[in-house]
Amino acid sequence: MCGIVGLYFKKKKLHNQLGRYLSGMLDNMSSRGPDSAGFAIYNNDSKKIFKYSLCIDDKLIAKNFEIDVKKKFKDVNIKNLSDHYILQTSSPPRTIIPFIKQFYESILIVGYGKSIEIFKQVGNPKEIVKKFNLQSFSGSHGIGHTRMATESAITIDGSHPYSTGEDECLVHNGSLSNHNNLRRELIKKGKTFDSFNDTEVAAGYISNNLSKNKSLDKTLKNCLTNLDGFYTFIAGTNKGFAVLRDEIACKPAVIAENNDYVAVASEFQAMAHLPNVNNAKIYEPEPGVIYTWGK
């Protein structure tokens, strides 16, 4: 099953409402995915500072890491929410990521970029939303997922959103059948994976395409030929997000759009609390058609 949600604001004055509305959307989708949940928030705060979303489940390791990272890197700032730590620094991924991978193997790098912050956890989405205090977040757009696990374990690294590139993320409702083959191909090309999950492979596939300077639109078109299985995707970048359903389209999606926002969700229920939604243009994305919104 799984529930996916996305919210993009067309007006800046609404940015401080993102967390509030997105948490309502995730709450309402907990019926579709009670095993784990996660969300990605895009907030274009800075042009120079990178944000690294890290999951550290051991407080002692987190403490040591904080001391260590502040010693080695300049202007480091760490924000802690539950077991997630947002490391902010001007140091680029090519220095930070090898450092974490070499000295702190147990730390999961959930995502990184100049805009994105990602949080995910195992458990009931309603609780998770509270733990991370999603209500208080602001941003230009956000993507969320509630998971009913089918093909890989209920763990944090089996939870969505998946981020496999700078400021990129993917949530997925469905299942892929050729992910093992595709994973092997991508590993040969130098991609690394943290889990056995199918969606991580799709995210890796999208990142691999984007890194070759292909547009998001072109990349998603390639998904239609190279990904086998069922899916409704919401793929996020720092500019906005895109929606794609496979051509059989048995995984649901509904879009509500007005002058203020674009909301995407697995079910209308998830967006029933949004302001003036009953007067918004409400439609289902057509199978195999790419829909994008962004700056």
Tokens of 162: 């998946």
Closer CB to other proteins, 45 or 286, in the complex = 286
Residue 78 makes contact with other proteins by CB under 8 A: no
Q: Residue 40 contacts by C-beta under 8 Å, 6 or more apart in sequence?
A: 111, 116, 117, 118, 142, 143, 144, 161, 163, 169, 236
- CB-based contact 119:22 (threshold 8 Å): no
Nearer to other proteins, 37 or 274 (CB): 274
- State yes or no: residue 228 binds other proteins (CB under 8 A): no
Sole window of 68-76, 176-184, 229-237, 246-254 interacting with other proteins (rule: CB under 8 A)? 246-254
Contact (CB, 8 A) for 266 and 4? yes
2 an active-site residue?
A: yes
Q: Looking at 124-132, 193-201, 230-238, 268-276, which segment touches other proteins (CB under 8 A)?
A: 268-276
Number of chain positions touching other proteins (CB under 8 A): 17
Helix (H, G, I), strand (E, B), or coil: what is residue 263? Answer: strand
Query: Minimal CA–CA distance to 283: which of 263, 224, 38, 26?
Result: 263
Binding segment (CB under 8 A) for other proteins, from list 66-74, 95-103, 232-240, 245-253:
245-253
Q: Which of 11, 273, 275, 289 binds other proteins (CB under 8 A)?
A: 273
103 lies in the binding site for other proteins (CB under 8 A): no
Q: Which amino acid is at 17?
A: Q
Residue 230 sits in the site that holds other proteins (CB under 8 A)? no
Please say whether the beta carbons of 252 and 269 come within 8 A.
Answer: no
Q: Which two tokens stand for residue 171?
A: 């949530």
Is residue 252 near other proteins by the rule CB under 8 A?
yes
Smallest CA-to-CA distance from 86 within 58, 113, 47, 48 is with: 113
Nearer to other proteins, 103 or 283 (CB): 283
Asked whether position 287 contacts other proteins by CB under 8 A, the answer is: yes
Annotated catalytic sites, by residue? 2
- Could you list the residues that contact other proteins (CB under 8 A)? 249-250, 252, 254, 267-273, 278, 282-284, 286-287
